[in-house]
Structure 1
C-alpha cells in the first residue's frame, strides 16, 4: 500500500469513527488520527496543515473515490481520437471528472466537447475501471467509465488541456496516461465488433 492510500484509509476510519462514536475518549483518539493524517498530507502536498484540515472538514459525507468519464471516438479506419495532456505530456482519451448532477455519460459528452470541439453521443459503455489512490488518480482513488462515442458534429479544436489532438492507431502510441492504453484497447474491441456486425 502506498503512503497516500494508507493516509486515505486512516482518514476514512477516523472520520467514520467520529461520525458514529459517542465515547469522548474514542472521539479524542479519532481526532488525533485526523491531525496526524492532515499533517502528513500537508507535508506530501506542500500545504499548511490548517488548510488540509479545512479541506477535510469541507468534504461532505463518507470519503469515496472520484468518478471519471472518458470517451473513445474512432474514425472509419479504427484510429482513436487522443489528446496529449498539457500537464504530463502523455496521451489520453478525452475525459474528466463527473460534475454533481451529471451522469457519467453526460460528463463524457461534455468533456469531449470541451477538450476537442466535437459533439458526440455515447453508443456503448465499454467498461468501468478502478484506479488506486495516487498522484494521478487522487487521494481517494478513482472509478472511470469509458464510453464508445460517435461524432455528431463540431469542429476538431485543441483546448488548453492539451498540446496535440489527433486520431492515432493504438499500437503507435507508447506514452499513455495512467491506464488509458487499457481503455483504448477495450474500446477498440467494441468498435471492431460493431464494424464486423455491419
Structure 2
C-alpha cells in the first residue's frame, strides 16, 4: 500500500468534509481525521505535524490535485531543450505550477521564459498526465499538461533554478527528472507526426 496516496485521499476527504459538513459532530470527525493525517504526513516527510497542518489550512475551497505545465521546445535539428535542475542535478523540460488566475498555456510560456530566457508560443497540446501521490511525486495528486512550444524570441539565459541549459538528443540525456523522459519522447513522437 502506498502511504502517500492514502494520506492524500484522507486529507482531501477531511478538508472537503470540513468545508461542506453542516453537522458539528461531522466537522469534529473530519477535524480529527485531518489532525491524524497531518501527524502521519509529518512523520513521512520529516516535518512537524503543526507545519503540515498550517500548510493544509492555507488551501481554500474544494481541494483538488495540483496542476503543472510543461513545455517541449525543439531546435531546428530536433533536439529538445532541457534544464539541469539546481536542486537534484536531473534534466527537465521547462515546467512549473500553474499560478492563480493563470491558464496552463500561460504557465508553460511564463515558466519557459523564466527558466530559459526564451519567449515561446504554445503550438499544440501534447498530452495530460495524472500522477498519484507517491514518494517520487510528493504528497499531492498532480496533473501535468505538456505543450509543444516554438521559440519566437529571447535568448538562452539560465535562471537560478538551474545549473545548465542544453538542447539534447533524447537518447543522450544522462539522468532525467521524474517522468520528463516520457514527456520528451511523447513530444518528439507528436512532433514527428506533425512537423
Q: TM-score, normalised by structure 1?
A: 0.91
Q: How does 1:1-198 map to 2 (within 5 A)?
A: 1-195=1-195
Runs of 4+ in 1 over 4 A off after TM superposition: none
After superposing the two structures, state which structure 1 stretch, 11-20 or 126-135, moved more. Answer: 11-20
SS in 2 for 1:63: coil
In 2 relative to 1, CA 151–41 (structure 1 residues): closer, same or farther, beyond 3 Å? same
Unaligned runs of 5+ in 1: none
Q: Deviations over 1:167-193 (max 9, x none)?
A: 000111241111111110111112212
SS in 1 for 2:84: strand
Q: How many residues align?
A: 195
Q: How far off its partner does 1:135 sit?
A: 4.5
* Distance in structure 2 (CA, Å) of the matches to 1:136 and 1:115: 22
Q: How far off its partner does 1:150 sit?
A: 0.7
Q: Deviations over 1:40-63 (max 9, x none)?
A: 122233333222222222210122
Contact 2:39-2:49 at 8 Å conserved across structures: yes
Q: TM-score, normalised by structure 2?
A: 0.92
SS in 2 for 1:102: coil
After superposing the two structures, state which structure 1 stretch, 21-30 or 54-63, moved more. Answer: 21-30
Q: Deviations over 1:6-26 (max 9, x none)?
A: 111112222233333344443
Unaligned runs of 5+ in 2: none
* Distance in structure 1 (CA, Å) of the matches to 2:20 and 2:102: 30
